[in-house]
Structure 1
C-alpha cells in the first residue's frame, strides 16, 4: 500500500508552490495543518532547509524558509504519531556533528519520529556565506551521510574518519530514540539517484514527471542490486497538485481534480511503478480549505490507493 505525506505550508514560500494565503500565515496555521495531518493518517509532515537566500533568487524563492529542526520540534510537541521529515536538510552547510546534535535531539524529543532527508543544495551564495564547499558539495554530502550514520547511531562516542571529517572520543547525548534514524536522499540527477541507491534508506525525487520516474526507479533498484544491497528502500514521489472534487475556481491546468475515485485511479499509477510513499500537495485558498482537502483525501481517496 502506498502511504502519503506532505510538505508543510507556510514554512517555505517559494513562488513555485506557495498559496497566496500563506504570506499572512504563521505558527497557528502550521499547528493546525500538522494536527490535521496527524488526525487524517498522513505518514509525515516535512519542512525544508535554507539558511539565507541571495537577492538574485529572492523573487522566485522568497526569503521565507523556517529552520527545519526548530519547526519540526515545535510541531512534535503538538502531535504524537505523524513522522517528521526534513525535506531536505542541506547538510553540507554544517559540520556533521552539529547536524547530528540537532537532529538527535529532535528524534529524542519526538519519541523516534524523525526521518532525515538530506540533499546537496543548489544556492552558491548560501554556501559561500557560511564557508561551505559549493563546488565539491556532492562529495561533501557523500561523506556527510557516512558521518551522520555514525553520529546518529547508538554509540555515545561515535567515530568517523574520512577525507573531510574526523572525530572520535567526543560524546553526544541525548541519543536518538530510534536505533537507526532513516536517511532519505533527495535529488533526481544521476549522482543523486546513485547516492540514494548506495547510501539511502529512502529516495526523495524532486518532482520527476511520471514518464521519467519509472525509469529512475529501475535505475535505482539496479544500482542497489549491483552493489549487493538487499535492505529495502523507501521510494518516494511528489504528485501533481491535487484538489478533491471540482474546485469551482482556477486551480491551474496541471492540477489533478475531480471525483475521489478518479483521483485514486490516477495516483495508483505511482504504486504500480514501484513508489512506496507519495508526497501530496493540495491547492487551497485558505488554511481551512487546505485542512478540508486533507480530510477529504484521507477519507475518500487514500482508502483506494
Structure 2
C-alpha cells in the first residue's frame, strides 16, 4: 500500500505551483430543500470538463432554519460515492465532516470506502461544527467539542494506519481484536481542519495536511498565510469564495455573504492577488441563477488564466 497522505485527489489540488479551483455543492444553489441530483451531477461533470480541480460536499446533518441553509441536504458519503461514479479524475472533498457529531470508526470506514471507490480522489475537510442545537440532538457536550475533535482526528488516523488498533476515548474502546476494512489508497486520507476547529494554529499545522478556511478579507488572509507558513511550511491553505458576476466587466465589487459581486476584470485581478499571496486552492460558488453559465464564465475568464 502506498505510504503518506498524498493520494490522487490531494495531488490534483496541490501538486502544482499556482492557484487551483474547485466548486462547492449544491452547484444549483438549492440549499433549503433537496436539490435535483441529476442536475447536480451534470454540473459536476461540466465542472470537470472545464478543468476545475475539485468538487466539495458539505456535511450538515440537520436543517436549522435559524442558520439559513441545509447544505446540499444529501448525506456526504453516499453523495460523494454517487459523484465518484459519474466523474473520472477531479478531486472529491468534504467541506467539512463534523467530527464531533460522527463516530470516528464510521468516519474512518466511510471515508476509506469513498477513497477506494474513487481511486484515491478523496480529500477530507474536517470540522468541529457550528450549529448549536445539533450538539444536544446528538448527545454531545458542546463545551467538549475541541477535545472531541482532537480525539477523533487521532483515532481515524490510527484506524487507517494501524492494524487491530488498541485505543479508547469518549467514543468507546478498541481492544485490539477488531480491524478496519477497507483501508484508504494511501496510508492516511489527507485531512484539512476547517476554520479554527477549537484548536491552536500549531496543533492544526502539526496534525493537518493543510488548512481549509472560510472567505477572508485580503489583509486578514495575508496575515493568516504568513502565520501558516511559519507554522506549517508549504502545507496548503484553501478558502471558499462566493462569486457573482456583474454584467459590466469593469464593475467594482459589492460585498456578499462570503464573497463578492463584481465585474470579470475585478475578479481576474482579485484571484491574481490571491495567487501572489501564495493561496493554494479556492472553492467557488458561482451564479446560481444559471449555474452552467456561471461555471462557463468563470472558466473562460478566470480558470483558464492558471
TM-score normalised by length of structure 1: 0.82
The correspondence of residues 200-219 of structure 1 with structure 2, limited to 5 A, is 200-219=208-227
Q: Distance in 2 between matches of 1:67 and 1:192?
A: 29
Q: Distance in 2 between matches of 1:148 and 1:256?
A: 39
Measured after TM superposition, the shift of residue 242 of structure 1 is 3.4
In the alignment, does 2:37 pair up with 1:6? no
Measured after TM superposition, the shift of residue 65 of structure 1 is 2.4
Q: Distance in 2 between matches of 1:11 and 1:292?
A: 11
Partner of 2:182: 174
Unaligned runs of 5+ in 1: 16-22, 225-229
Unaligned runs of 5+ in 2: 1-17
Q: Distance in 1 between matches of 2:247 and 2:187?
A: 42
Q: Distance in 2 between matches of 1:63 and 1:271?
A: 28
RMSD over aligned Cα atoms: 2.9
Bigger drift between 215-224 and 44-53 goes to 215-224
Q: Distance in 1 between matches of 2:140 and 2:170?
A: 15
In the alignment, does 2:283 pair up with 1:275? no
Distance 1:159 1:104, change over 3 A: farther
Does structure 2 conserve the Cα–Cα contact (< 8 Å) formed by 1:147 and 1:165?
no
- Secondary structure of the residue aligned to 1:280 is strand
Q: Distance in 2 between matches of 1:151 and 1:130?
A: 23
Distance 1:126 1:104, change over 3 A: same
The correspondence of residues 235-254 of structure 1 with structure 2, limited to 5 A, is 235-243=237-245, 246=248, 254=256
Structure showing greater relative contact order (alpha-carbon pairs closer than 8 Å, 6 or more residues apart): 2
Q: Distance in 2 between matches of 1:196 and 1:166?
A: 25
Q: Distance in 2 between matches of 1:175 and 1:107?
A: 9
The correspondence of residues 265-304 of structure 1 with structure 2, limited to 5 A, is 265-285=269-289, 289-304=290-305
Does structure 2 conserve the Cα–Cα contact (< 8 Å) formed by 1:244 and 1:296?
no
Bigger drift between 172-181 and 5-14 goes to 5-14
Q: Distance in 1 between matches of 2:278 and 2:212?
A: 13
